[in-house]
Amino acid sequence: MTIVAPTARAAFALLGVVQSVLIFTIMILTVPLPLVARELALGPSEVLLLSAAYGLSFAALLLLGGRLTDRYGGRRMLRWGLALLAAASVACALAPDYPVLLAGRFVQGAGAALTAPAAVAVVRRLYPEPAAYRRAMATWGGLSVIGATAGSVVSGAVAAAVSWRWLFAVPVLVALAGLARSGSLPTPAPAGRRPALDLRGAALATTGLCTASYALVASTDHGWRTAEVLAPLAAGLLLLLAFASAERRTADPLLPPGFLADRPRATALVAVMATSAGTALAFVLLSLYLQQLRGWSAADTSAAFLPYAAALLLSGRLAGPLAVRYGPVPVTAAGLALEGVGLALLAGLDPGSSYTTGLLPGLLLLPAGAAASFAGAAVLATGGVAPERTGLAAGVFNTAMELGPTAGLAALMALAATRPTVVGGYAAAFAVAAAGLALTTLAVAALPRTGGTTRTTTTTTTTTTTNAPERTTRTKEFTS
């Protein structure tokens, strides 16, 4: 199916809005969470679980979502995911109590887990040529951080002006728009052998990721040495080990063991986790700092992130073209380093920090680095993958993006709780996150430089029997 350029651009714009809103929906309760807690009379543990529910189900179900996409096609799974997202968002907006709202957030995450890999699969159909697909993915990588920023900036203002419930209108409207326009999206390529579902692997991966992530989230409320943390953590790790063992014995595994053996891909996924954990940490801790310790309103807190949003929009427009021109490795490394510097500046936080000199420099450097890191890492993580594995690559990429804020943020928050003062804990968490980004920068910088794309061959040879042909494809597609 041949698609003319204007049609492809319009479809990509629609899918880009969908991807941004999936991440926007993670963040919409971050700033107004104290308002939600007061309205529904929530305790600390309930607030914690509510804040993590969407990310838990999103991350845990992404591998299954990727496999369903590869089996049934991107357009069909996009429709199912958007329909589920819209229905769950309506339930959240109308939720009369905490159990309904919590269940709605879990189901929202499930809808997002179906939608995210399906959207990438459709992008692959829109841009079948390797060079065009790399350019599209370089842009795609920055959409998530834009969605996260929009969620944090908009949520406080909307919650203060009307109600936090109106925030759920955004995913409803975008999902309905996506459903209405989905008929114009390309149909799946003619299928060869469709991959099996591997339901056993899906069950082990989903329950393992969800259980282990819940343990990390619970650590901020109960402490690392309690049964409430150690029991689900041990159970989750055992389930993930069982998943890894089962995948080696399955003829058509959910996650082929060799898929993560590709060094650039594996390193890019670590970069995605580190980047997303750092940005989430900044949003959560600074929101708490400004509202609970400095007495700012939700609207004022959202306004504090406006310079962050402006820096992100500017850097986001530059990051994609830079990743295409100079190659994903240097752009990813530079982005990680820049974000690390931003977090290091925030590590100087104290009870009397000035917004202009204490917070603003970090809030400007952090989004510039995050945009570059996501743009380059998206190309590294999804490049060189056979078309029939696009859903798998997208699922793994988005899993890394969700595990960063879920697991990484929980671990850093637990670290912050060990300090004698709240602000001291926040500063320590920022410092550790900055150190983690510095180490990840070194790992990415050590990857082979693949260069820009001024001269690109579009001849590729891929098979699905082993991972070696994928590495060969990556070399051909990225070499100038």
For residue 2, is it within any domain? no
378 touches 141 (CB < 8 A): yes
HSE-CB for 285 with a 13 A CA cutoff: 33
Residue with tokens 């100087």: 348
373 and 404 in a common domain: yes
305 and 432 in a common domain: yes
Domain that holds residue 126: 8-185+254-478
316 and 284 in a common domain: yes
Closest Cα partner for 34 from 168, 214, 170, 155?
A: 155
171 and 307 in a common domain: yes
Residue 475 burial (10 A CB sphere; 0-12, 13-18, 19+): exposed
For residue 192, is it within any domain? no
DSSP line for 187-223: PPPPPSSPPP--HHHHHHHHHHHHHHHHHHHHHHHH-
Task: Write out the H or E segment, with its range, that includes residue 83.
Answer: helix 74-93
Closest Cα partner for 435 from 330, 320, 281, 283?
A: 281
For residue 248, is it within any domain? yes
Q: Could you read off the pLDDT of 395-436 as tens digits, one per residue? A: 888 888 878 877 787 778 778 878 888 899 999 999 999 999
d(CA 116, CA 126): 16
30 and 14 in a common domain: yes
CATH of the domain at 402: 1.20.1250.20
Residue ending a domain, among 253, 274, 294, is: 253
Q: What is the reported pLDDT for 146?
A: 79
Closest Cα partner for 89 from 116, 115, 107?
A: 107
d(CA 86, CA 90): 6
For residue 193, is it within any domain? no
Q: What is the reported pLDDT for 456?
A: 36
Residue ending a domain, among 208, 230, 253, is: 253
Domains in the chain: how many in total? Answer: 2
Copy the structure tokens of residue 316: 């986001």
d(CA 326, CA 330): 7
Q: How large is the average pLDDT for residues 131-150?
A: 80
392 touches 369 (CB < 8 A): no
pLDDT band with cut points at 50, 70 and 90 for residue 189: low
221 and 159 in a common domain: no
165 and 305 in a common domain: yes
Q: How large is the average pLDDT for residues 142-150?
A: 76
Residue 480 burial (10 A CB sphere; 0-12, 13-18, 19+): exposed
Task: Please indicate whether residue 203 or residue 197 has the higher confidence score (pLDDT).
Answer: 203
Average pLDDT of the chain to the nearest whole number: 83
pLDDT band with cut points at 50, 70 and 90 for residue 175: very high
DSSP-derived letter for residue 167 is G
Residue 95: how many other CB atoms lie within 10 Å? 19
Q: How large is the average pLDDT for residues 2-19?
A: 77
For residue 19, is it within any domain? yes
Q: Which long-range contacts (CB under 8 A, 24 or more apart) does 292-295 make?
A: 292/34, 293/351, 293/422, 293/423
pLDDT tops 80 at residue 268: yes
Residue ending a domain, among 235, 253, 271, is: 253
218 and 330 in a common domain: no
44 and 171 in a common domain: yes
432 and 321 in a common domain: yes
124 and 219 in a common domain: no
Q: How large is the average pLDDT for residues 275-290?
A: 88
240 and 270 in a common domain: no
For residue 85, is it within any domain? yes
The residues near 132 (Cβ < 8 Å, ≥ 6 apart) are none
For residue 190, is it within any domain? no
For residue 191, is it within any domain? no
Q: Could you read off the pLDDT of 39-61 as tens digits, one per residue? A: 998 877 788 788 888 988 888 88
